[in-house]
Amino acid sequence: MSPSALALPTSPLRVAAAQAEAVPGDVAGNARRAAALTVRAAEQGARVVVFPELHLCAYDLALLAAVPDRCEVPADAHGRVADARLDPLAEAASDHGVTVLTGAAVRRHDGALTNSVVTFGPGAETNNTAAVAYDKQHLWHADERGLFAPGARGTQGSRASVLPVDGWKLGLGICYDISFPEHGRAAALAGAHVYVCPSAFAAGNEHRAAVYLAARALENTVYALFANPVGGPPHRPCSGGTALHGPDGRTLGRAETTREELLLADLDPGDIAEVRGFLHMLQECRTDGS
């Protein structure tokens, strides 16, 4: 792989994963509560705050199908999202100089509906406009495939979507994406230092996420951050399990409860360098099939 893909940041990055509860269909209320959590995280030094999959409307696919206007946010042809319901979250990110990533059901300019990561922050457009950073590529069974269009691959066919923040590169995935080793590997080969995964694993399935994320971290020698919700609709509750895994696969932090909380952690480029000093999977990956 190219030397640039192995380049490391020059300073640590404090991140916060929000193990948060969302009210189904209440985009405005969920954005206000996310704004309050963002301020809490920023006051503790976080530069990046990550919320779960579909957090703006909550992971309730039946409600999303029944009342789309309550649940969706619109994006223009350039992927910009301007929706007054999101103003408190956009303002919190801008005022505190942090980058916020949150899950949303996005109605695209061409009419497609995507399960996406929307980002707010210092790099956002003016007038509280957010931007779509990633669309989920692997949709979970017929439930999601009946609603969403799968995300397109990146440039030159890559699966990777990488977001730069403070010299770090965040590789983005959503929930079921993490089940596919190729997805995390594509992010790492594109230079990602962290594999960031907003998710909505249902209660009783968090153990799968722990296996997936530890593996994605170890095999790619990157950090892996998992933000999972609590609460949700009675027919499909979630119980957290929010966690951070280090570049050697070890669990560095995990939410202590099944209630709402912030998991804060400092990512250190020295840790990646140390692990890559003896684990050479990225340098030795034979992507050309030779």
Structural domains in the chain plus CATH codes: 14-284 (3.60.110.10)
How far does the chain reach from its first CA to its final CA, in angstroms? Answer: 14
Q: What is the pLDDT of residue 198?
A: 98
Q: What is the pLDDT of residue 127?
A: 52
Per-residue model confidence as pLDDT tens digits over 127-185: 566 999 999 999 999 999 999 999 986 544 455 689 999 999 999 999 999 999 999 99
| Strands annotated E in the chain | 13-19, 48-50, 72-74, 80-81, 99-107, 113-120, 130-135, 162-165, 168-172, 194-198, 223-227, 230-231, 238-239, 243-245, 251-254, 261-267
Distance CA 58, CA 23 (A): 6
Helix, strand, coil % in the chain, rounded to nearest 5: 30, 25, 40
* Mean predicted confidence (pLDDT) in 65-85: 96
Per-residue model confidence as pLDDT tens digits over 34-72: 999 999 999 999 999 999 999 999 999 999 999 999 999
Is residue 231 within 8 A of residue 237, CB to CB? The reply is yes
pTM over 0.85? The answer is: yes
